[in-house]
Amino acid sequence: MNDPRAMLPDVACRRALRRRLLAWYDDHARDLPWRRTNDPYAVWLSEIMLQQTQVETVKPYFERFMKALPTVEALARADEHEVLRLWEGLGYYRRARQLHRAAQIILTEHGGRFPRDPEAVRRLPGIGRYTAGAILSIAFDAQEPILEANTVRLLSRLLAYAGPPHSGEGQRILWATAEILLPRRKAGRFNQALMELGSEVCTARAPRCMDCPVAVLCRANQQERQQEIPLAKIKQPQQPVREAALVVRRRGRVLLLRWPEGRRWAGLWDFPRFPLAGESHTGIDRELAENVRALTGVMVAPGRRITTLTHGVTRFRITLDCYEAEYVSVDKTAATLLETRWLRPAELADYPLSSTGRKLANLVQKNAR
């Protein structure tokens, strides 16, 4: 690959781009809760929450989290149970657990102050090159570049880079572009302006080039190639999967288990659930009972189906059949088992659950009233 800098606009164009973009941002920046401060903890929290999640979804979660755990130290000292309960519904729970672990490292190794050294920041769990650049530039005005979904699209179009943006070559070119465009001062504001323009104007399907402050500098616009740049990823179709969950009852309480390390919802509580092997409903009771026993050591008598929930997890489209079941006994010979608790319906509100677990818990609570 040739020097990627050869693709970049010249010095005069870069200056014009910075000036136009920052002026546009002064007038158009959305008022978002995490933009009212440059506290590195708040910036960090917002950046982690915004990974794979829409701004509007994040807003209430961010405000609730900051209210409950307003500092790195408060987060570090919190119970994981509380952190996951605050995160419940945002998905990708690994983010919350890594955030919690990183806060503990900041407390023990950096005296509770968010580190300013890029290497130290990147060593924290859950923080990659993009997140480190965003926190350091926004909170400390460090001259650190960023590259995420919105800026990948925007920079690809500005350069008219038509190759795959997530390839090795694409990443080298786009990171080099993000770096060379950065102004010496106001790097954080400039990075935020890039993301804002990508998210609000240079959108994926219908970029609003007529309203774009950098349209005269944009090569895709000049070549009328906005629709074909960046090269779209080929979407894999979701794979259908059938699973079952059981509400096991025993003297007014229901059985919950806690997913261990390495499982999809590690750290969260849930009703016993598992993939179903059988295609038909013949022999389903045996399959349900055997799976609950294997997970928890509890022997059950399955009953009627209560509801069916559908939801997507990564590349899977899951159809979850939910059943009632009665406790029978405990199999004391069962091997490795998960942590379990018998809870009164009212207690379910205190436990962090997966989103389907919460839907089922709401049904249980409603029926208990």
Q: Binding residue for ligand SF4 (CB under 6 A) from 156, 177, 221, 356?
A: 221
Closer residue to ligand SF4, CB minimum distance, 194 or 256? 194
Min. distance of Cβ 35 from ligand SF4 in angstroms?
A: 22
What is the token pair recorded at 104?
């503990």
Q: Binding residue for ligand SF4 (CB under 6 A) from 127, 142, 214, 360?
A: 214
Write the binding mask 287 to 326 for ligand SF4: x where contact by CB under 6 A, - elsewhere: ----------------------------------------
Min. distance of Cβ 169 from ligand SF4 in angstroms?
A: 21
E strand or H helix at 156: helix 149-159
Strand, helix or coil for residue 246: strand
Closer residue to ligand SF4, CB minimum distance, 226 or 296? 226
Instruction: Tell me: does residue 215 bind ligand SF4 (CB under 6 A).
Output: yes
Return the ∠ at Cα 291 (arms to 288 and 293), rounded to 5°: 110
Closer residue to ligand SF4, CB minimum distance, 215 or 231? 215
Phi/psi at 140 (5° precision):
-120, 5
Residues 118-177 that bind ligand SF4 (CB under 6 A): 154, 157-158
Residue corresponding to tokens 């979804």: 57
Min. distance of Cβ 219 from ligand SF4 in angstroms?
A: 8
Min. distance of Cβ 230 from ligand SF4 in angstroms?
A: 10
* Four-point Cα dihedral 354, 358, 360, 361, nearest 10: 130
Cβ density class 189-221: b for 16+ within 10 Å, e for less:
bbbbbbbbbbbebbeeeebebeebbbbebbbbb
Min. distance of Cβ 163 from ligand SF4 in angstroms?
A: 17
Closer residue to ligand SF4, CB minimum distance, 209 or 337? 209
Which amino acid, one-letter code, is at 115?
Answer: P
Contacts of 153 by beta carbon, 8 Å cutoff, 6+ apart: 165, 198, 202, 204, 230
Q: Count of residues for the chain?
A: 369
Q: Binding residue for ligand SF4 (CB under 6 A) from 107, 212, 247, 364?
A: 212
Closer residue to ligand SF4, CB minimum distance, 19 or 113? 19
Closer residue to ligand SF4, CB minimum distance, 16 or 209? 209
Closer residue to ligand SF4, CB minimum distance, 152 or 353? 152
Min. distance of Cβ 56 from ligand SF4 in angstroms?
A: 22
Distance CA 295, CA 337 (A): 6
Task: Return left, alpha or beta for 251; rule: phi > 0 is left, psi -120 to 50 is alpha, else beta.
Answer: left
Instruction: Tell me: does residue 201 bind ligand SF4 (CB under 6 A).
Output: yes
Contacts of 171 by beta carbon, 8 Å cutoff, 6+ apart: 147, 165
User: What does R_g of the chain's alpha carbons equal in angstroms?
Assistant: 25
Q: Binding residue for ligand SF4 (CB under 6 A) from 90, 178, 218, 257?
A: 218
Distance CA 358, CA 368 (A): 15
> Which stretch in 116-124, 210-218, 315-323, 327-335 sits in contact with ligand SF4 by CB under 6 A?
210-218
Residues 63-92 that bind ligand SF4 (CB under 6 A): none
Closer residue to ligand SF4, CB minimum distance, 19 or 208? 208
Distances (CA, A) of 122 to 11, 60, 111, 161, 188: 31, 27, 17, 28, 17
Min. distance of Cβ 24 from ligand SF4 in angstroms?
A: 10
What is the token pair recorded at 133?
């650049």
> Which stretch in 46-54, 70-78, 216-224, 285-293 sits in contact with ligand SF4 by CB under 6 A?
216-224
Give the residue numbers marked as catalytic.
Answer: 47
> Which stretch in 45-53, 188-196, 215-223, 286-294 sits in contact with ligand SF4 by CB under 6 A?
215-223
| Helices 55-68, 40-50: crossing angle, 10 deg rounding | 140
Min. distance of Cβ 105 from ligand SF4 in angstroms?
A: 39
Q: Please report, as ranges, the residues that interact with ligand SF4 according to CB under 6 A.
A: 154, 157-158, 201-202, 207-209, 212, 214-215, 218, 220-221, 226
